[in-house]
A and B are shown apart, each in its own frame.
Chain A
């Protein structure tokens, strides 16, 4: 069985603050893929990052960074110096190797207050 847990339902921060969105996953597979997607009010899911289970290297892309730790089954997402445009619902998702469907968490709604 697989499961993705995003325990933070809603987070509010003031602009320029840093914020970390948590994602904990469960899977029995040794090979899998983890994703983060952003969903602004328009509804479209915007791909942010894909991480393979065999690559635990953390990644930074501008103000975004991701911390993947297999030992704790976590794939957390940090936004540095948050901006109002970062306000959205963020989803963590799991793709099993050989599977064809993404398994999503319930999402974290981030509100950045100007």
Chain B
């Protein structure tokens, strides 16, 4: 196991609602990345947080937002949910050092279903 935890494991919401997903990073890691994985697809990068600030963002609208806390845990918030937001949301933690970014280790994911 990686030591990366996510909650909740499953979630059902209705269109237009808001959702918050949580992630605790692996001990010793300072960076959290979030990915969305639609059914049958590879994960797509949403954004990354480093030192409590957004450190890069993929092609996702502003209604996808996040936070990183001093203990390096993170939240992903999605407002105004749409049916297409139904997916597996994966959190990955890693360590950024002077020489660059180390390997990203993933948590078990949160399965979100939007009805």
Contacts and interface: CB of A to CB of B under 8 A. Distances in A.
Contacts, number: 60
The number of chain A residues touching the other chain, given as a range, is 20 to 34
Q: Is the interface of A mostly helix, strand, loop or mixed?
A: loop
A43 B88 contact: yes
Nearest to A44: B108
Contacts of A103: 45
Interface string B92-115: 100000001101111111010000
Q: Is the interface of B mostly helix, strand, loop or mixed?
A: strand
Contacts of A47: 2, 103-106
Contact of B42 (A43, A46, A50, A107): A107
Interface of A: 4, 35, 37, 42-47, 50, 91, 93, 95, 97-107
Given A4-B42, A100-B50, A101-B56, 8 more contacts: A42-B108, A43-B90, A44-B107, A46-B106, A47-B103, A100-B48, A101-B48, A106-B41
